[in-house]
């Protein structure tokens, strides 16, 4: 800990005094490498060993705020819960926001790493759970600190305002919305551009993916309480069986994807949980379904959600559920996010910056293989006027990609140094390119 803070303080003093960087730090890559060796490797290890659950990132946000304050940023904590906002003004020009998410997942780490997390935390449901960084947010927050240091040291290269944010609760997709609702765009400089990256276990280290359009799908959590009339299992005619009704609803929901949505458009309705009944021979009074709904456009999203309401109600009516016992469909007000769609013109500009900075071979374009969601979307909705670019940075050596554990797996692991350092280099290059020095 002392080594980190002394090195940071020395760098800040050198910058304030206008001392030139040493010969080995003249280039961005060399400077980031030196910072990783002196500071960021230790910092990553700390974040990896100390993950925290969504909305409870108290230690994480405090450490991030400490690091950014030491670098000379104007830092505000407690934004949208545990969110951190750091501002650096550097003359006239655009405002660029760079975001890193901070939260871990309720999983017991089985990566086999020497620094595997043993952390436990009481979740919002009151249950103590193991916690690990199973999605690489430790990479993101470490890289944010590294980016902050390079942007401070390289102020001569850019002009404008830099806003760095540590965002809570991405895994439960409510942290970005909470920060916006807490005045992110009114209490602090509103960005012209917003950037974020995600480390990817199935992308080789040293490569970047930066799509020109959609990056992630929308996501909505939906609960359906399917009600019936309880009876003896041997006398089903005396009641209305909610298990049967729920089963029919589950099957019928799949017609939304297969028969109502254009097959060339992205759409998913998954019933991830079904619970009901207590004994073999008792017809229960209720069965509860939990759904995740994904789409790539607002129009498809609305059609899926409205279709769930229609199918639940009318299936119940067809199976003779009384009018006063019809299913109750509840859409989560917190676990919901629109699709993350990059601004095409800005994404192309950023891709060109990457190609120029690192060589065109750094860019990798692969088809999407799933409909994961990302609440960065809340920062860049069309009505905000903020142009967003979300990109992925490789986290696994190419020879190991085929066997790498996926995100949200207890076996998840990435190779930190190339992921963190390329994440920093790409973030700095993109930010400087979007805030060119004015004369």
- Active centre residues (catalytic): 103, 170
Contact, 164 vs 85, CB < 8 A?
yes
d(CA 76, CA 143) in angstroms, rounded, equals: 19
| CA-based nearest residue to 135, from 416, 376, 423, 407 | 407
- Please give the full DSSP string across 16-30, using - where no structure is assigned: HTTPPPPGGGSSHHH
Query: Residue 430 contacts by C-beta under 8 Å, 6 or more apart in sequence?
Result: 195, 350, 353, 354, 389
Q: How far apart are CA 343 and CA 347, in angstroms?
A: 6
Q: What is the dihedral of CA 304, 309, 310, 312, to 10 degrees?
A: 110
Distance (Å, whole) CA 168 – CA 393: 21
* Per-position DSSP letters for 166-193, written without gaps between them: EE--TTTT-HHHHHHHTTHHHHSPPPSE
């Amino acid at each position: 800990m002392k080594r980190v803070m002394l090195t940071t303080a020395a760098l800040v003093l050198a910058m304030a005094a206008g001392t030139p960087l040493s010969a080995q730090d003249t280039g961005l890559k060399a400077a980031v490498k030196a910072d990783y060796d002196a500071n960021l490797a230790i910092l990553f290890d700390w974040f990896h060993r100390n993950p925290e659950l969504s909305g409870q990132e108290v230690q994480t946000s405090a450490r991030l705020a400490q690091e950014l304050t030491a670098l000379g940023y104007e830092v505000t904590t407690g934004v949208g819960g545990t969110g951190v906002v750091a501002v650096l003004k550097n003359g006239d020009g655009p405002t660029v926001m760079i975001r890193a998410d901070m939260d871990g997942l309720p999983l017991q780490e089985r990566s086999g790493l020497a620094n595997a997390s043993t952390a436990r935390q009481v979740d919002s449901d009151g249950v103590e759970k193991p916690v690990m960084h199973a999605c690489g947010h430790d990479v993101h927050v470490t890289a944010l600190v590294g980016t902050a240091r390079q942007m401070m040291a390289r102020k001569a290269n850019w002009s404008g305002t830099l806003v760095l944010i540590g965002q809570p609760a991405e895994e439960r997709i409510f942290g970005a919305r909470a920060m916006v609702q807490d005045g992110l765009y009114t209490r602090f400089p509103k960005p012209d551009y917003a950037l974020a990256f995600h480390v990817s276990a199935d992308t080789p280290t040293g490569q970047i993916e930066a799509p020109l359009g959609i990056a992630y799908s929308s996501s909505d959590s939906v609960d359906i309480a399917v009600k019936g009339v309880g009876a003896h299992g041997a006398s089903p005619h005396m009641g209305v069986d909610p298990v049967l009704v729920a089963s029919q609803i589950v099957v019928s929901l799949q017609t939304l994807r297969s028969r109502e949505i254009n097959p060339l458009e992205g759409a998913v309705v998954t019933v991830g949980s079904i619970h009901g009944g207590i004994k073999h021979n008792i017809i229960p009074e209720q069965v509860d379904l939990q759904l995740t709904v994904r789409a790539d456009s607002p129009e498809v999203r609305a059609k899926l959600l409205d279709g769930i309401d229609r199918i639940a109600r009318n299936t119940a009516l067809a199976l003779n559920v009384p009018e006063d016992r019809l299913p109750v469909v509840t859409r989560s007000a917190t676990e919901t996010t629109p699709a993350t769609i990059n601004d095409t013109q800005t994404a192309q500009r950023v891709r060109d910056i990457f190609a120029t900075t690192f060589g065109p071979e750094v860019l990798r374009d692969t088809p999407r293989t799933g409909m994961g969601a990302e609440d960065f979307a809340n920062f860049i909705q069309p009505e905000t006027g903020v142009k967003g670019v979300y990109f992925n940075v490789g986290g696994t050596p190419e020879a190991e990609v085929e066997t790498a554990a996926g995100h949200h797996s207890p076996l998840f692991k990435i190779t930190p140094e190339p992921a963190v350092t390329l994440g920093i280099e790409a973030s700095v290059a993109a930010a400087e390119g979007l805030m060119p020095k004015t004369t």
